[in-house]
């Protein structure tokens, strides 16, 4: 390959560019990004950046020296609008084309929206520009904030808003936030963090619509009630950015379909990060975005699948002063046992806790609140396949 194009100046896109150089590719490297910014870290957007603890200079994933060392052509502020695989050409929305021998798709995902989110005061939180706009509005003084969606982004945003002195309500359509990830028992425990942080949690009720003329004034719920709101944050998940690939020969199904090595139906095209459905699973987590590129690049340069991505699912979230960490593959029917710490009135105690998910005498996953060291030991045991771990060994 003489030219490889990374589509997406994202976390996974940057890691793919690094891997290309580290694995010996010395040809032309092109990085295309729809945002005008160089790659930046997204997790702080809903946390320290939103509360003003860190500035934009702390978000950069690479300094100027490393960026220059990649020897890449950066085409920022322009979107890819098509991929002509037969002609080995990437089409850009500004009319330019890029001739390329290999492609790494790292276009990520976009925040889902609600009807009426064009009202002033309604925000999503996915990009740096989103975070800038929300942070500026939150700086105008105490407001009534409604966060729609109790997932990780929603919970972290609610926590940040509460820390800034705003009155916050979280609306979650499910019976509890995070049930698909944690199961009902542990989801209830983590939901208690909202209460501890002074945030109202409304569950089991969907959103019927947003109220207001030019500015949002309320959130209408499916039970007929309306929550007053001056600021609304919509955190109802994300959609993989694959629209630009419509009409290509790639298989698209809630992401770019790949084998376990991040390779699409075409060996010269691989996909990584939030946009990639690898081995039947699409994982929107920082860890996947940083671990998949090594395997994907190895397979791209080999022209076939020679390695497979087999990382253990892992995510973390910082909410209301607590650090939640989870690793493993939980399934319905797993039992949960508190191995360290305790719960107080259904909420994490002052010292946090460590919970083990088990099935047939084997550990399948681990959840920690403010117990990082025993969590890391349990995570390493899971990674090594040592699932018969006794609590005293953690």
DSSP 222-266: TTS-EEE-SEEEE-S-EEES-GGGTTSSS-BSSSEEE-TTSB-SS
Phi first, then psi, for residue 142 (nearest 5°) are: -55, 130
Find the distance separating the first CA and the last CA of the chain, reported in whole Å.
Answer: 47
Sequential pLDDT tens for the chain (394 residues): 899 999 999 999 999 999 999 999 999 999 999 999 999 999 999 999 999 999 999 999 999 999 999 999 999 999 999 999 888 999 999 999 999 999 999 999 999 988 877 899 999 999 999 999 999 999 988 999 999 999 999 999 999 999 999 999 999 999 999 999 999 999 999 999 999 999 999 999 999 999 999 999 999 999 999 999 999 999 999 999 999 999 899 999 999 999 999 999 999 999 999 999 999 999 898 999 999 999 999 999 999 999 999 888 899 999 999 999 999 999 999 999 999 998 888 888 888 999 999 999 899 999 999 999 999 999 999 988 766 645 443 3
| H-helix segments, the chain | 11-22, 48-51, 64-69, 128-138, 152-163, 179-196, 286-302, 372-384
Q: What pLDDT was estimated at residue 393?
A: 39
Token pair of 376 as six digits:
């890391």
Alpha-carbon distance of 288 to 21, in angstroms, equals 20
Alpha-carbon distance of 234 to 157, in angstroms, equals 10
């Amino acid at each position: 390959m003489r030219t490889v194009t990374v589509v997406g100046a994202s976390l996974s896109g940057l890691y793919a560019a690094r891997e290309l150089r580290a694995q010996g590719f010395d040809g032309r490297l092109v990085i295309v990004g729809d945002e005008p910014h160089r790659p930046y870290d997204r997790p702080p957007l809903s946390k320290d950046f939103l509360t003003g603890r860190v500035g934009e200079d702390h978000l950069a994933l690479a300094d100027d020296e490393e960026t220059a060392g990649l020897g890449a052509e950066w085409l920022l502020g322009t979107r890819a609008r098509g991929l002509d695989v037969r002609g080995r050409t990437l089409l850009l929305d500004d009319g330019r084309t890029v001739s390329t021998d290999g492609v790494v798709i790292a276009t990520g995902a976009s925040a889902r929206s609600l009807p009426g989110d064009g009202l002033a005061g309604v925000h999503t939180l996915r990009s740096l520009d989103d975070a800038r706009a929300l942070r500026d509005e939150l700086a105008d003084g105490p407001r009534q904030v409604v966060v729609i969606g109790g997932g990780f982004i929603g919970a972290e945003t609610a926590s940040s808003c509460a820390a800034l002195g705003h009155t916050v309500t979280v609306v979650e359509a499910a019976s509890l936030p995070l049930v698909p990830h944690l199961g009902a028992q542990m989801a209830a425990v983590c939901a208690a963090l909202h209460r501890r942080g002074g945030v109202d949690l409304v569950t089991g009720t969907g959103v019927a619509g947003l109220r207001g003329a030019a500015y949002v004034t309320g959130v209408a719920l499916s039970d007929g009630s309306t929550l007053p709101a001056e600021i609304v944050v919509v955190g109802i998940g994300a959609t993989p950015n694959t629209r630009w690939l419509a009409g290509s020969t790639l298989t698209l199904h809630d992401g770019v379909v790949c084998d376990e090595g991040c390779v699409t139906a075409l060996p010269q095209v691989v996909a990584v990060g939030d946009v990639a459905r690898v081995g039947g699973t699409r994982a929107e987590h920082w860890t996947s975005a940083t671990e998949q590129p090594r395997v994907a690049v190895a397979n791209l340069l080999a022209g076939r699948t020679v390695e497979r991505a087999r990382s253990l699912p892992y995510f973390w979230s910082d909410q209301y002063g607590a650090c939640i960490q989870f690793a493993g593959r939980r399934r319905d029917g797993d039992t949960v046992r508190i191995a360290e710490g305790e719960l107080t009135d259904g909420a994490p105690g002052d010292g946090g806790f460590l919970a083990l998910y088990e099935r047939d005498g084997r550990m399948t996953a681990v959840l920690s609140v403010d117990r990082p060291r025993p969590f890391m030991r349990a995570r390493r045991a899971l990674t090594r396949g040592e699932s018969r771990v006794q609590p005293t060994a953690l």
